[in-house]
Amino acid sequence: MAITYTIKLNNTSLPKLRAYKIGRNKLWNDAGRNMSGSLRATLTGLFPKIILEFAPTTADEMQTINGLLDQAFFTVSWWDSGSKSLKSGQYYASDYETPLLNLEKELYDGFAVNLVPVDKLS
């Protein structure tokens, strides 16, 4: 399968995306250790957190990015190296900052934001 894109939010490509990382985060339930130190836990599932890193942007590009990230929930589609396929799921964006680089030129500095999954990866 040819990869036509690496990541999209609500089927929209992200302007000035410099990099992204997929955190293969495991969520455990009823986790604890007994007196001999053995772990007893139930794996709830894999919840892939996505970290987006943006290069410096123009005001118009930042408006597009803000419009996507500021929604309560959105669909993220990304290339999953574990299954070698495109995956998608419902996500929300954690808090993020948009640092103004130059007011006269309406330029914003690069920044990062975490996308947090609503459900486990199926």
Q: What is the pTM of this model?
A: 0.86
- Residue 53: predicted pLDDT: 97
Q: Report residue 83 as tokens.
A: 């299954």
In the chain, what percentage of residues exceed pLDDT 70?
Answer: 96
User: Closest Cα partner for 25 from 52, 45, 53, 10?
Assistant: 45
Q: Indicate the SS3 state at residue 47.
A: strand
Cβ atoms < 10 Å from Cβ of 75:
13
End-to-end CA distance of the chain: 20
